[in-house]
Every structure is written in C-alpha cells, then in structure tokens.
Structure 1
Amino acid sequence: MVKKRIIKYAVPYLPMIFLAIVLLFAQANLDLSLPDYLSDIVDTGIQQQGIESTVPLGIRETEMHKLELFMTPEEETLIKGNYSLITNTSQNYEEYLEEYPILVNESIYVLSNASKSDIEGLEPAMAELMTVVFSLNQIYNATQHNVTIDTGMDLGFDLTMFPTESSFYQFLEFVVDPANRTVMREGIVENFSALGETMLNQIAIVAVIAEYEAIGVDIDNIELMFILKSGGIMLLFTLLSVIATVTVGFLAAKTSAGMAQKIRADVFEQVENFSSAEFDSFSTASLITRSTNDVTQIQMMVFIIVRMVFYAPIMGIGGVIRALDKASSMWWIVGIAVLLLILLILTVFIVAFPKFKIVQKLIDRLNLVSRENLSGMMVIRAFNMQKNEEERFENANRDLTKVSLFINRIMVIMMPMMMLIMNVLTLAIIWYGSHEVADGTMQVGDMIAFLQYAMQIVMAFLMVTMMFIILPRASVSVERIKEVLNTEPSIKDIQNPKQFASPFEGKIEFRDVSFRYPNAEKDILHNISFTAHPGQMTAFIGATGSGKSTIVNLIPRFYEASKGSILIDGINIQEVTQHDLREKLGYVPQKNTLFSGTIESNLLYANENATQEELKNAIITAQAAEFVFAKDQGMSLAISQGGTNVSGGQKQRLSIARALLEQPPIYIFDDSFSALDFKTDAALRRALKQTTGNSTLLIVTQRVSTVMNAEQIIVLDEGRIIGKGTHEQLLETCETYKEIAVSQLALEGLS
C-alpha cells in the first residue's frame, strides 16, 4: 500500500507558496534596511548635517592651494582632473553664483560630473587632505590666541617660533616644506587613524561643513533634504513591507485553508469507505476529533510555516550579518544572546513535546464522554446517574486541563525569559556601544542600528518560539490524520469487477458461510447455507446474539465473510462493486437513523428523483400516513438531528418508507418492526406483500407473528442454523422455534 503523505496536499499551492517566499524575502530585506536608514539619519543627517561624502562639491581656490601642499603628484592629477575652476569670467558663472555666493569675491573649484566610482576613488585622499589642513588650522587658531594645546602629534617644528600675527597660509608656508610635508601628513593621519577610520572621516566631514559655510552653501537645506529623503524612503519601505505582509497573510491563509479543506474531504471520503471493521478500530469520537481539531491544527501549522518559517531565518541571519557589518566588535553580545535563546527553545521543546501527544488523545476521550452524555441523556436521567456522569465528565475534563495547563505554563515561561534576554541584550549593547562611541570607533547611529538589528534577531527567535508551540502539536495531528488516510479498508472492490445480469432477479445464496469479527478468537457464524428466492419472504429468528443481524449485514458487505461465499443471481458479491451491490438493496437497519431536515428530505435520501406521488405511496405503505399527513406541515415537518422529535415507531416507519421509495429488487429489514404494535405490524406486512411482491424479502425479527406467513423461516442458535422451513414445518421439526412460538402465541393459538 502506498502511504499517503500530508505534504502532497501542498503541491497544488506550490506557486502560491513560492510567491509567498519571494514576498517574505523582499519584506525581510525591507525591514532589515530600516535600521540602516535610521543610522544614516542620526549619523549623516543630524551629526554630519546631511553631508555624506568627504569630497566637497565646491571648494575655494585658496583652500585648494592649501590642500595642494600635501598632495602627491598622482593625487594632484586625480583631484584636479575631477574639479573645474569657476571664475567671474567663466561661461557658466551665473549658473553657479546662486549656489555658491562666494563667487562674487573668490574663485572656486567645483566638482565636475564625476561618477559615483570617481567620487569613491577621491574619498580616501580627500579625507586625509581635509583632515590634515583642518587640524593645522586648529593649531594655527590656537597659536593666534596664545592658547597652549597638546596636539598629540610630532609635527617636527617649534610653534613658539611662529609669529602670532600671520595668515594661515603663511603658517602653512612656515611649517610645511617640500621635504617634510609628506611626513607631516602621515603623522597627522596616523594620529587620527589610531582612533579609527570613523574618527578620520568625522574630522574630514567637519572640514567639508566648514568649507560649505564659507562658500555660502545652505547647510540647513542640505540637512533637511537628507532627512526628508531618508525618512521618505523609510516610509516607502514600511508601506511596501505592509503590503508584502498583507499579501503573504492572504496567501498563507488561502494555502492553509485550501489544504485543510482537501485533507478534511479526503478523511471524510476515507471514512465513508471504511467497513464496520475499521469503525471498530477507530472510535466515532476519535474520528470526529481527527476530522475537526486535528485538521485545524494542521491548518494552523501550514499558516505558521508559510508566514513565519521562511521569514524568521531570513530575518535572523540577515540581522546577524547586518549587525556585524555595523559593529563587528560587539558580535559576542549577539552570539551569547542567540546561544541562550537556542538553549531555552530546545529545553522547552524537549519538555513539552511528549505532552502534545497526550493532549489529542485526551480530546478524543472528552469528545467520547460528551457524545455519550448528550445522546444518552434520557437514560442517564431515568437512572438518576447525573452525578456519576458529571464526575466522569469532570475526570476527562480535569485530565485534559491538567496537561494543557502544564504545556501552557512551560510556554508562558518562554516569553518573560526571552524578554529578560532581550532587555539584558539591550543594556549590554548600550553599555558597550557607549564606550565605543566615546572612543570614537563607532558612531551613535551605528550603535542604534546595531541595537535594532539585535531586536530583530530576538524577534526572529520569538517567531521560532511560536512555531515550536504550534508544530509539535500539529505533528501529532499529522500522524493521527495519516493513520486514517493510510488505513486500508478491509472491504474493497476488485480490479475488474463483474456486472449483474439483466434482468436482475435477486436470488440470494449463502454457501457454507462462516464469519469471525476482527481480532476475535472464534467464529460467530458457522457454515451458514440457504437460498432466498425472489417474490418470497425469508425470515431469521432466534435468541438474542444468535447471529441474525450479522447474516444480513454480510449481504451489503458491511463485513466480509471469513469463509464460504455469498452469491446474488449466481455472482459472488465480492466480484461486483460495492456501489452496484448496494444499489440493488433496500436496507432498513436495526438502529434507525434519520437526518436533520424534513420528512421529505429524509425520504428523498433514497431516491432524489422521486415524485410526490411516489413519496405519498411509500408513506402510506409504511403505515406512516396517520402522523405525517395529520399535521399541517405534512412532509415538510422538521426532523431534528437523529430524529429525536419523533417516536421509535414513527422513526421505524419513516425508515421503511425511505427503503420502499428506492424500489430495489432486494429488501432487508433488520428487526425493523420491533417498535410497532401488533395491529400496525400486521397492516404493514400486508402492504409490503403487495408492494414488494416480486422482490426478495429478508426480515430479521423476534416476533413469530411477523414471520408466520414467510415462505422460509431460518432459526438460528449460537451462529448455527438449527431449523429451516415454514411456520407449520418448524413447529413439527424445530424444538427451539416451537418454544419461541409457544411463549409468544400461547394465548392466541399456534396457527
């Protein structure tokens, strides 16, 4: 037998799942981009006043000359090649004047249409040059105000020998000569580089801001535009993330609901194909739980998988990568937090998983007790057993509650523990990061971004936690559903079935049939042989438990005969399809079942195309007209679930009417007259004789009066035929039948 796998139900939804994964990947990247932009707003937008590059867009000619003092020949060629000198005689002078008001008094160098790669190539050199000149300018300003400063640099000259009333350019000419300018530059750069590349760039940005202020650039506008641009991108990314979230939620819901619908339908179809043997191995309460609660658990699992299983790893891994890119020195903080989270999740999973298996079985038990209490309420009240049943229900309820509380307590511990880890992680990042910021090796925005990435990593693990709550219980439900789907029905159609001959007669023949219930130690029927002819009534009578109902249940193949064969019109019933076989039968079971609806809908269950006239005739034949047509509703009278709003006799007569409406060639009445009074029983048998004159009639009964006129009466005792014949013949040849007849008909006579 090919085992059915739950995963196959996802195949029709693979395109939707793939689309969801793509959207989740996009959403994760959008969410991971937000801390970067926040970092840029803090570092570049606020601290650097919107200045992104150490390469100024414009610089005064005099400032360029100062930079030239420290340029190498290669740098001078590179820089001069990307800048153009704008004077008051230049063709595009008016165009630049509005942007750079300093042009009225001084010529400036303007960055040409350099590409992004050209600017990136200029940044290292310009960062060093701007830092060197800016640092020397700070030293110069200190000397002009007679301020003693500790430069921390070995400049190679005595500042006290420099005249205090000289220009900065004269200062540079004094301290810089072609022989030592490279050494001086390297010394200053090395001094700042020791604090980190971040500090070097920060000094260079400050120098660029000072130059922009000098040439009249609107720094406030640059700062505002940068913040608005970065904030706008963040809002756009947030909107796109929301759209992706909603779309993925829709796809996940559609996928999970669609899979659940198909699984539920297949489980129901599989159960419909079960024989009575399979129903004996699966309780009704368990099958109800598997078709409802277990399928719901699988639906939730699929939704969580599509929505979070793919998203959480992307967020977690992406968060780690980006966090380390922002501040690799703090990797150990995230590493410890992740390790603690993994240990916490594994511990909870190991403790809670075994309990999930118990929960579903306890739900089965609770459903069983509830179903028995509701269906048997009248019996419970009749014997004043309410307290006992309340205690029985309370025990089942208490057991389920106890296990559920245990699981919930374990799961509840996870949230505060994870929040504790997250808060400690936050404190550690702020404490360690603040020292990094103070030392100049990290910017405030980078620390904030690192903190946000750490939170995203923790949130990813929170999502994993939710999966560990749902997946263990769902995995148990998956196994329970697979048990049903992979249970091979013991009664199934053969590969190449035969067809009944036309015209169909309805002759039934049992040939040496024995039967044993599954897992039973001995047979309940022994070597049963008889023939039931069309147009005749064959009745089965005997003590309770003698096998009467078992015999007639073998004909529709509710059970399969253990030995021997059953033939209809000379064809073994195992060689035709169950559909074709049951299409020839009109069956009234021992336990009559009516469905919620109306009388008409219950009768049409046998023949949906029946006319009103046929419905009326069936009701009259079944002796049900007196209570059906006595009320104004007639056949529109509502029937409650299980037919609880009609009496036992009325239910039996409606069940008989339903079987008559099918007009089959074979009728099986399994103790279907027990709830009828003798007068109604006699009237019904007379009507049946007229209606089913050419059909094969099989009747199981305890009443001798019901079978007195039968062409063949089969007497059973402990699964064996001990008598066979007519009423008169059995009175003479079968002592058991005679005892039954005497006990029932003593007051009326034996014939």
Structure 2
Amino acid sequence: MLSLLTYAKTYKKELILGPFFKLLEAILELLLPLYMAKLIDEGIKSGDTQQTIKMAMMMLFMSLIGLVCVIICQYYAARASQGFGTELRHHLMKKINALSHSELDAYGTSTLITRMTNDINQLQLALAMLIRLVIRAPFLSIGSIIMAFYIDTTMGIIFIITIPIFSLILWVIMKKTVPLFKRVQQKIDALNETLKETLQGVRVIRSFSKQPQSEKVFDTVSDDLATSYQNVSNLSALLSPITGLIMNGAIVFILSAGSFQVNTGHLSSGEVVALINYMTQMLLALIVVSNLVVIFTKAFASATRVEEMLETQPDIVTTEKEIDDSWENTPLVSFNNVSFQYPLSRGYALKQINFQLKKGETLGIIGPTGSGKTTIAELINRSYDISNGEMTLNGIASFNYPTGKLRQHLGIVPQKSTLFSGTIKSNLLMGNPDATEEMCYSALELAQCLEFVTALPEKLDAPVLANGNNFSGGQKQRLCLARAIIKSPDLLLLDDSLSALDYQTDWLIRKQLRSVLPDMTTIIISQRLSSIKQADHILVLDNGKQVGLGTHDELMKSSDIYQQIAAAQDEKEVH
C-alpha cells in the first residue's frame, strides 16, 4: 500500500504541513485539562474571580488557535487526497489503455470500473485520514498517559493497563475483517457486472418479457453484497462499543480511586477533573484509532487490487525502434502461416492463414459466423499478437512495429458501431484532431451521411448521446465510417461495418471509396457477397481455416464454401 504514496509526491508540502498543524492542535488540546485544573483549584475553589477569568480566556485563546490549525490541516488533507486520487486514476487509466485485449478480457469491465472508482475513493479517504488523524490520535493517546503520570503515578498505571486490552481486541477484529473486506470488493465487481449486463440487454429482456427473472437475479446479487457488508460491518461496529466499555470502566475506577486520594490530600479536585478529561481524550483517540483501522483495512484491500492492475505487464510489448514508416513497401500486409489462439482457449481461432496485400488493393474476407474474420482485423491492429507464423505490416514483422505508430496508419470501423457523447464534429475529430469543417463534410459525403447530417439544425454541432443512441444503426455505422475516413488512413479495415446499410448505400460507399481514395488499401470483412465481390482478393474462412483465396470468378470455380455462400444469397442483390 505504501508504494502507492509515490503518486502523492507532488503534494509533499501538504503531507508535511497537514500533520504538523494537526500536531499543534493536539498539543494545545493536551494542555487544556491542566488549565482546567488550575481554573478549578486556583480560581473557583479559592474564590479568585480574576484567576478564573484569566484561565478561561487562556483556554478560549488556545481553543481558537487549535481551530485555525484544524482548518489548515483539513485544507491540506483535502488538497493532497484529491490530488493523489486524480494522479492515481490518471496512471491507472494509462495502464488500462496499455493493456492488450487479452488482459482486458481477463479482468472484465466491471472490476476495472470498481477499481477506478470505489477502490481509489477508499485510498483517497485513507490518505486524508492519514494526514488528519494518524499523528493526532496516537499522540493524544500517548500524551494523555504521560500527563496522567505527570499528575499521579497510580492513575497513570490505570491508563497503561487499558492499552494492551484494547490492542488485543483491535488485533482480533482486524484479523477477521481484512479478508471480509476483500470479499466485499469482489461482490461489488459482481454487482457491477450484473448491472452492466442488465442495462446493455434491457431491450432483449423486455422483448422476451424476462423482467421478473432479471430483477430476481439482480436482487440475489444485491442481497449477497448486502449480506457481506453486514457481516463485516457487524464485526467493525464492535470496536466503538468495546472501546467505550473499556474506557468508561477506567473512568469509573479513576473516580473511585480519585475520591479517596482527594480525601487524603494526594490529589486536588481539579486534578481529578483533569484526569477524567485525559481519560476522555484517550477514549476518543482510541475510538478514532478503531475507526482508522476500519478505513485502513478497506484501503489495504483496495490498494492490493489497484497495485495488481498497475503491476500487470501487457502481453503486447511495444518498441520504439527506428523503422520505415512510409507505408510504401510491398506487400503492405502479409500473413505467412499465421495461427492464433485466444488466451485460455483450447483451440486455435485461426490456423495457417496465408495472403499478401499490396498498396491500393482491396481484400474481402468472408465466411460463416465464428470462422475468424474479425480475429484477422484484431491481429492487424495488434490488439492481440499472433501465436505462430509471421505477420508483416509495411514489410516489418508485427512484433517489431510500435503499436502507436502502427495505429496512426490504420482506420478501423468495428462490428459494433460506437459513438461518444458530444457532437458529430467531436466524434469526427477523434479520427483527425486537425480536420477542418471542409474535411468533415467531405468525409461525411464519402460515408453517405451528408444528407441526414445537413438536415439537422445544428449540422456538425448536432449532439450525440452516449453510444450514439439518438441515431439509427445505419446512421451510426456511416458516422463511424466517416470518422475512419477523415483520418486518411493507409489501411482501412471495415469489420462487417456496412451490415446495417441497404444494398444501394453499401454499393455507393464502396464506389466512392474506390474513386476518391484509389491509393488506400482496404480490407472489407462482410457476410454479404455483394460487399466483397469486386475486391482484388477474397479470403474465404471456415472454422478458422483458410479454404479459399482468389478473385470472385476464381472462387466460384474452386471453392465449395464460397459457392454455397453465393447460392444462399440472392444474386440479384449482388453488384
């Protein structure tokens, strides 16, 4: 957990001055009972009004100084903890973006969200408490014991006896709660996963009238989390009442023994009051310590999960070697006996794939569902690295191509159309931040979405809801295509990204791309024969195996599967 404090190094001043001002406040608080004793013994008991007022004013002045110290400490604690959380989230997000798809698949979206939010919030709280209370609470506890010995040795022993009793109880509860808090975080992950699936599949759930079953599943997961919280909270809640019982028992003992010593003249009435105040201070400090234990126990569990993410080494290691980044080499893309197996999968998703693609050529990829078409796009994008064989991009082995440089040359339109909340223009600028309005309109025209965009009152500034939910499926696909085109990529990957379009629009887009961007290399993955029929090369896949490679006419003669696909589709719709 301490290793994460490196993310708070820019707040060294706050980490030092915050506890310092809290220490000053604790010192003043320890002195107050002595002045209270003087007020009682030298003022009220002696009938000296002037001394009473003097001590009261001194106590008021010390309290005001203590208040100022507390305010300064609270400010530094808030500044440091929030800054620490911001820095940690930044590095965690940077790490998540550096992970390959295999690591992201292994973790899952729900746990990444929980670690980014709930876990870091726990660490922020722990750092704030570290600055505000970690020095103050032990100092008040130890200081109260010292002041008790200063007043009377016998009474000081009572203070000493209570510490090991409290420490034993604290250790037992900590030992029980740490594993439970880790389990609670896992239950939060499960709740987030269930909630995500329910929200994403709400249309499917409603279409099958499965709302009661969905609610039942969610209630089960929610109740499971509630039960885990109750178990750990019941144990943690024991700290405060047990601490109060021990300390109040000690106060009763002080009053009993103190009354005898007052009668014998060994203690004054003011000193007994001071001892009770010191015992109360130690009581409150130990209760704070017990609460800190709960906070730091949660933080320890959260720190373990965050550190696990930060220490994860990506499967795909990028390099910064000097390479020929012109994208003029031939072949531009080459697969030589490439095979690939997904992590934790028993079988190969792709087996012995071979093809070459020159600059300006178009490759069509077709095959039954689950045949490995999208996997080829993932490999070219280096979302995963190949398992066997050799894949070169621009004549460079994929393992040696820096992912950042590689993706600058790629324009990808994935199967699932994803738009981000903002405007149409902000989504287009993700492809090219320097694009002008003229370039935006040109990309929209190529993607066949100029007509519906210009019909909107705000045009390029038209709002886009999260996931583009205010646009139809076809409109989202075309906007995603425009976002890729505006990048002017050397290689355009269309991963079944025209499936929501009618045949005419599909044909117009392909025609425009061929005429306006003839030098752009294109890979079209599609279930439609019409979308790939005019491609320079067509790769046919079946169950991860390459079962055909050639032009449309060649495959119609040599590939049984291609012939079956052609026969299954209406030739009248094939352009």
Task: Tell me which interval the TM-score lies in, with the shorter structure as reference length.
Answer: over 0.9
Identity %: 34
Q: How far apart, CA to CA, are the structure 1 residues paired with 2:159 and 2:35?
A: 21
Residue identity matched to 1:387: P
| Deviation of the 1:497 alpha carbon | 4.3
Does 1:689 pair with 2:514? yes
Tell whether the 8 Å contact from 1:528 to 1:721 is kept in structure 2 after alignment: yes
1:249 to 68, 74, 88: 74
Change (3 A) 1:38 1:749: closer
1:284 to 88, 106, 109: 109
Q: How far apart, CA to CA, are the structure 2 residues paired with 1:230 and 1:451?
A: 19
Aligned-partner SS, 2:499:
coil
| Deviation of the 1:422 alpha carbon | 3.2
RMSD of aligned alpha carbons? 1.9
Tell whether the 8 Å contact from 1:369 to 1:393 is kept in structure 2 after alignment: yes
Task: Indicate the residue corresponding to 2:384 in structure 1.
Answer: 559
2:310 to 482, 485, 497: 485
Q: How far apart, CA to CA, are the structure 1 residues paired with 2:530 and 2:197?
A: 35
| Deviation of the 1:336 alpha carbon | 3.7
Task: Indicate the residue corresponding to 2:179 in structure 1.
Answer: 354
Q: How far apart, CA to CA, are the structure 1 residues paired with 2:180 and 2:2?
A: 26
| Deviation of the 1:47 alpha carbon | 3.3
More displaced stretch, 627-636 vs 610-619: 627-636
1:380 to 205, 219, 223: 205
| Deviation of the 1:233 alpha carbon | 1.9
Q: How far apart, CA to CA, are the structure 2 residues paired with 1:231 and 1:623?
A: 82
| Deviation of the 1:371 alpha carbon | 1.2
Task: Indicate the residue corresponding to 1:6 in structure 2.
Answer: 4
Residue identity matched to 1:630: A
2:481 to 643, 652, 656: 656
| Deviation of the 1:502 alpha carbon | 6.8
Does 1:431 pair with 2:256? yes
Does 1:476 pair with 2:474? no
Tell whether the 8 Å contact from 1:497 to 1:575 is kept in structure 2 after alignment: no
1:611 to 436, 440, 463: 436
1:32 to 23, 30, 33: 30
Task: Indicate the residue corresponding to 2:242 in structure 1.
Answer: 417
Does 1:23 pair with 2:4? no
Tell whether the 8 Å contact from 1:4 to 1:482 is kept in structure 2 after alignment: no
Residue identity matched to 1:42: I
2:155 to 315, 330, 336: 330
Extract unaligned runs of 5+ from structure 1: 50-222
Task: Indicate the residue corresponding to 1:625 in structure 2.
Answer: 450
| Deviation of the 1:506 alpha carbon | 7.5
Task: Indicate the residue corresponding to 1:440 in structure 2.
Answer: 265
| Deviation of the 1:503 alpha carbon | 5.5
1:343 to 168, 174, 189: 168
Task: Indicate the residue corresponding to 2:56 in structure 1.
Answer: 231
Does 1:640 pair with 2:461? no
More displaced stretch, 230-239 vs 432-441: 230-239
Q: How far apart, CA to CA, are the structure 1 residues paired with 2:496 and 2:303?
A: 41
Does 1:539 pair with 2:370? no
Aligned-partner SS, 1:595:
coil
| Deviation of the 1:226 alpha carbon | 2.4
Does 1:718 pair with 2:543? yes
Aligned-partner SS, 1:519:
coil
| Deviation of the 1:325 alpha carbon | 1.1
Does 1:507 pair with 2:332? yes
Q: How far apart, CA to CA, are the structure 2 residues paired with 1:264 and 1:505?
A: 43
2:414 to 581, 589, 614: 589
Q: How far apart, CA to CA, are the structure 2 residues paired with 1:4 and 1:701?
A: 51
Q: How far apart, CA to CA, are the structure 1 residues paired with 2:115 and 2:161?
A: 42
Task: Indicate the residue corresponding to 1:45 in structure 2.
Answer: 43
Q: How far apart, CA to CA, are the structure 2 residues paired with 1:318 and 1:281?
A: 51
Q: How far apart, CA to CA, are the structure 2 residues paired with 1:504 and 1:635?
A: 37
Q: Deviations over 1:355-405 (max 9, x none)?
A: 101110111111111111112111110111111110111011001111112
Q: How far apart, CA to CA, are the structure 2 residues paired with 1:400 and 1:547?
A: 39
| Deviation of the 1:682 alpha carbon | 1.2
Which structure 2 residues correspond to residues 81-120 of structure 1 after superposition, within 5 A?
none
Which structure 2 residues correspond to residues 42-441 of structure 1 after superposition, within 5 A?
42-48=40-46, 223-441=48-266
Change (3 A) 1:356 1:522: same
Q: How far apart, CA to CA, are the structure 2 residues paired with 1:371 and 1:524?
A: 27
Residue identity matched to 1:745: D
Q: How far apart, CA to CA, are the structure 2 residues paired with 1:522 and 1:376?
A: 29
Residue identity matched to 1:462: I
Q: How far apart, CA to CA, are the structure 2 residues paired with 1:507 and 1:576?
A: 13
Tell whether the 8 Å contact from 2:337 to 2:390 is kept in structure 1 after alignment: yes
Aligned-partner SS, 1:5:
helix
Task: Indicate the residue corresponding to 1:217 in structure 2.
Answer: none
Q: How far apart, CA to CA, are the structure 2 residues paired with 1:23 and 1:661?
A: 56
Q: How far apart, CA to CA, are the structure 1 residues paired with 2:148 and 2:574?
A: 100
| Deviation of the 1:256 alpha carbon | 1.0
Does 1:600 pair with 2:429? no
Q: Deviations over 1:311-349 (max 9, x none)?
A: 111111111000111121223432343343323323322
Change (3 A) 1:31 1:4: closer
Does 1:707 pair with 2:532? yes
Q: How far apart, CA to CA, are the structure 1 residues paired with 2:23 and 2:373?
A: 67
Tell whether the 8 Å contact from 1:316 to 1:461 is kept in structure 2 after alignment: yes
Task: Indicate the residue corresponding to 1:738 in structure 2.
Answer: 563
| Deviation of the 1:575 alpha carbon | 1.8
More displaced stretch, 633-642 vs 720-729: 633-642
Q: How far apart, CA to CA, are the structure 1 residues paired with 2:477 and 2:321?
A: 38
* Structure with larger Rg: 1
| Deviation of the 1:11 alpha carbon | 2.7
| Deviation of the 1:443 alpha carbon | 0.8
Residue identity matched to 2:4: I
Q: Deviations over 1:479-500 (max 9, x none)?
A: 0001110001111212534241
Change (3 A) 1:4 1:502: farther
Q: Deviations over 1:175-222 (max 9, x none)?
A: xxxxxxxxxxxxxxxxxxxxxxxxxxxxxxxxxxxxxxxxxxxxxxxx
Tell whether the 8 Å contact from 2:443 to 2:482 is kept in structure 1 after alignment: yes
Residue identity matched to 1:529: N
Change (3 A) 1:502 1:584: closer
| Deviation of the 1:571 alpha carbon | 1.6
Task: Indicate the residue corresponding to 1:462 in structure 2.
Answer: 287
Aligned-partner SS, 2:267:
coil
Aligned-partner SS, 1:594:
coil
Q: How far apart, CA to CA, are the structure 1 residues paired with 2:324 and 2:260?
A: 90
| Deviation of the 1:616 alpha carbon | 1.1
Q: Deviations over 1:84-128 (max 9, x none)?
A: xxxxxxxxxxxxxxxxxxxxxxxxxxxxxxxxxxxxxxxxxxxxx
Aligned-partner SS, 1:662:
coil
Aligned-partner SS, 1:530:
strand
Residue identity matched to 2:20: V
Q: How far apart, CA to CA, are the structure 2 residues paired with 1:506 and 1:239?
A: 78
Q: How far apart, CA to CA, are the structure 1 residues paired with 2:390 and 2:82?
A: 46
| Deviation of the 1:13 alpha carbon | 2.5
Residue identity matched to 1:550: T
Tell whether the 8 Å contact from 2:411 to 2:491 is kept in structure 1 after alignment: yes
More displaced stretch, 581-590 vs 526-535: 526-535
Residue identity matched to 1:9: Y
